[in-house]
Amino acid sequence: MAAARRPTRPGAAVTAALCAVMTAGLYGCSASGAPKPAPTPAPSTPDPGQEQRSPFTGLPARPAPVLAVKIDNVPPARPHTGLNAADLVYVEQVEGGQTRLLAVYSSDPPDRIGPVRSARESDIELLRQFGRPALAYSGSHSGLKPLLDKAPLYALPPEDAPRAYVRDRGRSAPHNLYVLPERALAAAPKATDAKDIGFRFGPAPAGGEPVNERTVRFPASRYTFTWHAAEKGWRVAMDGRAAVTDGGPVKATTVVVQYVDVRPSKFSDFLGSVSPYTETVGKGTALVLRDGRGHDARWSRPAADQGTSFTTPSGAPLNFAPGRTWVVLAPRG
């Protein structure tokens, strides 16, 4: 629809004629004689017919709330349930040099996920970039509970959402607690939908080195990612054994080895071991594995409420392959 025409001020037509014959040395002629400001481009609006894609995977997906789940990862907790349904999986260091997984779901959460274990202080900073997600976990240090309650997330331990959890009597405690995503999200009806956290998807960057297998070591655990061209993805092994979930191999389309600072936190476990704090705000180097090649990268996250960008050494955005991404938060150096 054409915009309504404003009434013409007296003399405006004369001024317009004079403007038409102004020399090139005069700019921005107007009826008032003052330069006109450059027009501000109108904000673009999404095309209703355009296919929606997940900002976590780059694959078609409807907007849906975010559920993050802390998953146990010691050998007695394996095999896992629901791990290949995660959009995104983070690997974090915990006490004793072991690791724990923080799996993020939005596109297509499964019926159950687990086994679920306790949260850490690092999770609060890591999850800030997701807005206000739901966090399923079981237990935490008593001093950490007030911080979780005040954080911009929906903390959902079993005592606060008892209907969202079940125990598998075929497994021994504490490695037998599972969360039911549908019930967990019902307890957090205002959880933020998936939004941009800095990932970019598309064609692979030029260059890179061929990589068939890559191992990332923590003080007391290790992860090996092996490229399978026929599957167009990386199979995951934990501590030398192939990882399995729901009867099949654990896979990732893109693997990011993000080198970060890991320092002691002010909390410790019941044995007195100090809990590590993984710093995910800042910048550093990374290795991005996709399509059977490894690409050197830089990562940057200016603030906790902002996403993490990954670029080539020259500063160009580094695209991930569409699909599930694993981010291994490896100790720097």
Distances (CA, A) of 219 to 98, 99, 226, 252: 7, 9, 21, 23
> Domain boundary at 142, 171, 186, which?
186
Residue 130 confidence (pLDDT) above 50: yes
3-state secondary structure of 7: coil
Same domain, residue pair 179 and 236: no
pLDDT attached to residue 234 = 98
Nearest to 118 by CA among 69, 154, 84: 69
Query: Has residue 34 been placed in a domain?
Result: no
Domain co-membership, 254 together with 294: yes
Please check whether residues 295 and 218 belong to one and the same domain: yes
pLDDT of 1 reads: 43
The per-residue pLDDT for range 184-231, each reduced to its tens digit, is 999 999 999 999 999 999 999 999 999 999 999 999 999 999 999 999
Residue 180 domain flag: yes
pLDDT grade, residue 23 (50/70/90)? very low
Domain count, the chain: 2
What is the per-residue pLDDT across 293-330, written as a single tens digit (0 to 9) for each?
A: 999 999 999 999 999 999 999 999 999 999 999 999 99
HEC letters along 27-70: CCCCCCCCCCCCCCCCCCCCCCCCCCECCCCCCECCCCECEEEE
Cα separation, 60 vs 216, in Å, equals 31
Q: Among 92, 98, 90, 71, which residue's Cα sits nearest to residue 82?
A: 71
Say if 115 falls within a structural domain.
yes
* 225 and 309 part of one domain: yes
Residue 19 lies in a domain: no
What are the counts of helices (DSSP H) followed by strands (DSSP E) for the chain?
A: 4, 22
Domain shared by 241 and 178, yes or no:
no
pTM of the model: 0.84
Instruction: Tell me how many degrees the CA angle 277-284-286 measures, rounded to the nearest 5.
Output: 100
Tell which of 186, 217, 234 closes a domain. 186
Does residue 6 form part of some domain?
no
Question: Which one of 137, 154, 186 terminates a domain?
Answer: 186
Give domain status of residue 278, yes or no.
yes
**What whole-number distance in Å separates Cα of residue 304 and Cα of residue 280?**
8
Q: State whether 177 and 226 are in the same domain.
A: no
Q: Residue 128 CA to chain centroid, in angstroms?
A: 10
Indicate if 71 and 181 belong to the same structural domain. Answer: yes
Residue 175 covered by a domain: yes
Q: What is the pLDDT of residue 178?
A: 98
pLDDT bracket for residue 140 (50, 70, 90): confident
Whether residue 64 has pLDDT greater than 70:
yes
Assess whether 259 and 228 both reside in one domain: yes
**Partners of residue 67 on adjacent β-strands:** 105, 134
Q: Residue 272: pLDDT band by 50, 70, 90 thresholds? A: confident
Range of the domain at 270: 209-331
What is the band of 49 on the pLDDT scale with cuts at 50, 70, 90?
low
Range from 130-144, 240-254, 260-274, 278-292 carrying the lowest mean pLDDT:
260-274
| 257-272 exposure pattern, b = at least 16 Cβ within 10 A, e = fewer | bbbbebeebebeeeee
Tell me how far the alpha carbon of residue 186 is from its chain's centroid.
Answer: 22
Examine the domain organization and report whether 115 and 163 are in the same domain: yes
| Structural domain includes residue 193 | no
What would the two tokens of residue 277 be? 């704090």
User: Going by C-beta distance under 8 Å and a sequence separation of 6 or more, which residues neighbour residue 38?
Assistant: none
- Residue 218 sits in the same domain as residue 325: yes
With 70 as the cut, is the pLDDT of residue 168 above it? Answer: yes
Give the domain CATH number at 294: 3.50.90.10
Whether pLDDT at 143 is above 90 = no
Residue with tokens 């490695």: 175
Query: Could you give the CA distance from residue 122 to residue 127 in angstroms, rounded to a whole number?
Result: 9
Same structural domain for residues 153 and 235? no
Q: Which residue has the tokens 């960008």?
A: 309
> Helical H runs in 56-139?
121-127
Q: 227 and 264 share a domain? A: yes
